[in-house]
Structure 1
Amino acid sequence: MSKYLTWVAICVLLSISLDVFAEEVPFTLEDRDRLIRVEVKLEDVDKRFEQIDKRFEQIDKRFEQIDKRFEQIDKRFEQIDKRFEQVDKRFMELREDMNKRFDQLINIFIGIVAAFAGIVAVTIGFAIWDRRTALRPVLERSERWEMAVREYAKQEPRLAEVLKSLGLM
């Protein structure tokens, strides 16, 4: 503990002795002029800061105006997007209507082709039926002619030879 007391005593004595050696520096006119110049410069700096603050306020106002314009532009884009959606919806409706029309036209075309095919089939069937019915009397007549010629060939030997050469007798 004695060490602590000695240290404390030395510190107290040193602090008292240092105050004794300190001299007061006189305030001169040069110092006063310097202070005035520093104050003037500080006032200039303060004025400059005020100007800068005013500029920043103006810039803030401009940014607010720009933000308002951007909001207006965003609203316009939203309106344009809505219009495009409406146009897309109309196009889809028109496309669906056109597809329905094409389906109807295709069905009509298929009906026309089927009717034409039916008419052709009926015409061919009629022609075949008509040919058979029309040929039957001709065939019967030709058979009678053939019998008549064979009978006559029995009396005419030259005609019989001709018929044999043709394979009809």
Structure 2
Amino acid sequence: MKLKGRRRLPKSRRLWILAFVWAVPAWGYETAPRITDREIVEVLTELKAGQQAINQRIDDLRSTTLTLFSVLIGMMAAFVGFVLWDRRSMLKSVQSQMEGVLAALRELAKKDAQVAGILRAYGLL
């Protein structure tokens, strides 16, 4: 059954129209300008300078981290030294107090036989 009043395009014209429709988007793109060798060298030098700046910043961060770590270790060593010194000074005062208590108990043992027996049992008299 044939449609009346409608005509079909010949096959060659359909191909031309299809090729034109596919080619239209390509006309919308701009061509990139040519890059000269001088521009390439300039961009490369900028990249190298940026790379060197980044390397310098990393080196600075490393040295700062090392400095802070060293300060922290020094503070810890000073704290341990202070604790040991304080312990020794505290032991000296406790030792002198204990010697005083022992002397008082020995004096008391001269008058009290029960205290003298206890001190002898522990080897303090």
Residue 93 of structure 1 corresponds to which residue in structure 2? 49
State the Cα RMSD in Å: 2.6
Percent identity (aligned):
29
- Superposition pairs for residues 4-23 of structure 1, below 5 Å? none
Relative to its length, the structure with more helix (as a share) is 1
Amino acid paired to 2:57: R
| Residue 89 of structure 2 corresponds to residue 133 of structure 1 | yes
Where relative contact order (Cα < 8 A, 6+ residues apart) is larger, the structure is: 2
1:164 to 101, 120, 124: 120
Give the direction of change, closer, same or farther, for the CA distance of 1:81–1:153 in structure 2 (3 Å limit): farther
Residue 25 of structure 1 corresponds to which residue in structure 2? none
Amino acid paired to 1:163: L
Number of residue-to-residue matches in the alignment = 93
What SS is found at the alignment partner of 2:94? Answer: helix
Cα deviation for residue 158 of structure 1 reads: 2.6
- Superposition pairs for residues 81-120 of structure 1, below 5 Å? 83-120=39-76
1:147 to 98, 103, 121: 103
What SS is found at the alignment partner of 1:168? Answer: coil
Give the direction of change, closer, same or farther, for the CA distance of 1:87–1:144 in structure 2 (3 Å limit): same
Cα deviation for residue 112 of structure 1 reads: 1.1
TM-score normalized by structure 1?
Answer: 0.45
What SS is found at the alignment partner of 2:124? Answer: coil
